Amino acid sequence: MGGALWNFLFFCIVLGILVTFHEFGHYLAARWCGVRVYRFCLGFGPVIFRKMTRRGEEFAIALLPLGGYVKMKGEGETPTAASASAASASAASSQSGRWGNLGRSDTFETDFAQVRTGTKADSAYSTASLEELACEVGGNDSFAEKKIWQRTLIIAAGPVFNIILAFFLYIVINLMGTTAHLPVVDNIVPGSLAQQAGLRNYDLIKEIDGRTTYTAGEAWMTLGSFAGKTVEVTVADDFGRGAARTVTLDLRGFDLVDQDFFSYLGLSQSWGRTTEDISFIEANTPAAQAGLLPGDIILAVDGVAVDGFAAAVTVLKDNLAAQQAALVGPRPEKATEAYIEATLEAPYQPITFEILRRHWAQGTLPVDPAADVAANDQDAFFERGRDAELSAAWYDGLRAVAQARATVPPTSSEVLSVSVPVAVTVTESGAVQPRLGLGAITLDSDLVWTKVHYGPLETIAKSFDDTINASLLIFRALESLVVGDVGIKAVSGPVAIATIAGQTASLGLSHFLLFLALLSINLGWMNLIPIPVLDGGQLLFLLYEKVVGRPPSERAQRFLSLLGLSLIVGLTMIAIFNDLTYFWL
């Protein structure tokens, strides 16, 4: 199945689930409060499916899968207007309230709001005639005649159901259990913000802003939400086995959209303690051609002393980035095909490695599984990656010989200078990456993974905590957007949602459910923002009615609804533009 079609399929699934639960909240609350429901509709526009129930309620699906609504008796009417309408059917037919327009296509229906769009008659509302519905505005089963607390409950139920859905999704995720990466940092760059803050290689992040973090994904997402601020982070060294301490990370200069989080701080996620020496050399690569061997320890890169393999890689990348800038020019904000092609074809200068080559007596070390890779063609290396059993056995062999090299004294050693020709790859952003054909392995990768599984009671507590943490992420993101800590480019739209939905579905059920939970919480809280045409705007009208003693005038509500719709449409257009710029342009 094509990528775009796959993404669109799961976009529809995600939107269908979230909208259904949202509208079901409104529906159940309306029924519980004794309000008559005319229609439960998923989507907007022409109705393509409808089903009538014995109660006279219509369940419908409309053509455009971008939302939904629950149409209730008396919705959009003030209590006074509703009572007057009940006394006179002709008055009800002529009023400009929502149900007076039920038989027309000149209104754009949303929950608790309408916007006039045209004058053409509409035959979609076939459940009752205009006159019948107009006569039903008043009465005990009318939304407009309910008490303020009942109308508040009905309006708030939709967003609340989205948050409740997320809570139950977290329960499913936590009951399923999963193997997750721990938030351990590594490869801290000298002089970087991470080093200045006091972070050290193999620190485990335990708390962020006083709240416990459990997985790497959760930690990086939480830290990203503090863009434009400083945040206190509690860490423990040696993969969490050492003493705990608190450091302060300065994220005031971090751009959530245009900057890479790890590059900004000058660190990376740890996959375990990396071997000091080279673990393997791929056949027919620059490293093999230069004569590098497994077991060599890199002491310096182009005269810059390094401490271990990971540090050598960091210096190597900096060297190539400097050569790229000199040969091709500064990396543009959006890398073009011409820039990437020029980067790949640039005449890079060879890299000089100063290495320590150690020698052991024959039979002292286990058989090195990397030796046959250098001696045979390159397919032998990649064959191990394609076969899980071969890959595991090969990795175990590499780890055994690496551990032996670290503990068995060599019979002799020598310092050599090796000139290695440069081969590179280029990321989509235009960043240059070395491709020399040498690598190292991790000796204790089990220290950065955890099996996440909870019992029934623990699951409930953890799921509640997950819901709170996700809500805090949204609040911080909104605050950052409002005060300008992050730019409008951080706003994403349907293309981003569709892309991430497809990606998480490809990764597995737990990843997809986690994305669904985050999006459901986001939908719930966003709908409570006090903007007319959103649920929060209608709650604001009810607050005004409670304080003043009467609702806002119909003219004021209509004007504010149009204003709110304009704002939402404007933000949507910006979000779509950002999506297209990021994913396609």
Residue 206 CA to chain centroid, in angstroms? Answer: 21
**Phi, psi for 58 (deg, rounded to 5):** -105, 125
Rounded to 5°, the CA angle 19-217-230 comes to 100
Average pLDDT, the chain: 80
Residue that wins the pLDDT comparison between 175 and 382: 175
Query: What's at 387, amino acid-wise?
Result: D
- Please give the radius of gyration of the chain, using alpha carbons only, rounded to the nearest integer: 31
The answer to whether 186 and 205 have CB atoms below 8 angstroms apart is no
The answer to whether 38 and 72 have CB atoms below 8 angstroms apart is yes
Q: Decide if pLDDT at 106 tops 50.
A: no
The conformational region for residue 221 under phi > 0 = left, psi -120 to 50 = alpha, else beta, is alpha
Band (579; pLDDT cuts 50, 70, 90): low
Mean pLDDT of the 443-450 span: 81
Cα dist from 233 to 198, 369, 428, 476, whole Å = 11, 41, 32, 16
Rounded to 5°, the CA angle 406-407-410 comes to 85
| Helix (H) or strand (E) segment spanning residue 468 | helix 456-483
Band (139; pLDDT cuts 50, 70, 90): low
Band (199; pLDDT cuts 50, 70, 90): very high
d(CA 395, CA 441): 8
49-85 residue pLDDT tens = 888 888 888 888 888 777 788 888 887 665 555 444 4
Q: 71 exposed, middle or buried (CB, 10 Å; 0-12, 13-18, 19+)?
A: buried
23-46 residue pLDDT tens = 999 999 999 999 999 989 888 778
Least confident of 237-251, 391-405, 477-491: 477-491
Mean pLDDT of the 311-337 span: 87
Neighbour tally for 350: CB within 10 Å? 13
Looking only at the bridges linking them, the beta strands covering 449-452 and 178-181 are antiparallel
Mean pLDDT of the 412-438 span: 89
Inter-axis angle of helices 388-407 and 379-386, nearest 10 = 110
Both tokens assigned to 30: 């309306």
| Helix (H) or strand (E) segment spanning residue 452 | strand 449-452
Residue that wins the pLDDT comparison between 295 and 333: 295
Strand segments, DSSP code E, in 23-127 are 37-52, 58-72, 107-110, 113-116
Residue that wins the pLDDT comparison between 348 and 455: 348
Residue that wins the pLDDT comparison between 526 and 105: 526
Both tokens assigned to 37: 């429901």
d(CA 121, CA 5): 35
Band (122; pLDDT cuts 50, 70, 90): very low
Residue that wins the pLDDT comparison between 367 and 205: 205
Mean pLDDT of the 297-308 span: 92
Residues recorded for the chain? 585
Residue that wins the pLDDT comparison between 317 and 493: 317
Query: What's at 108, amino acid-wise?
Result: F
Give the model's pLDDT for residue 388: 62
Q: H helices of 528-553, where?
A: 535-548
**Phi, psi for 183 (deg, rounded to 5):** -80, 75
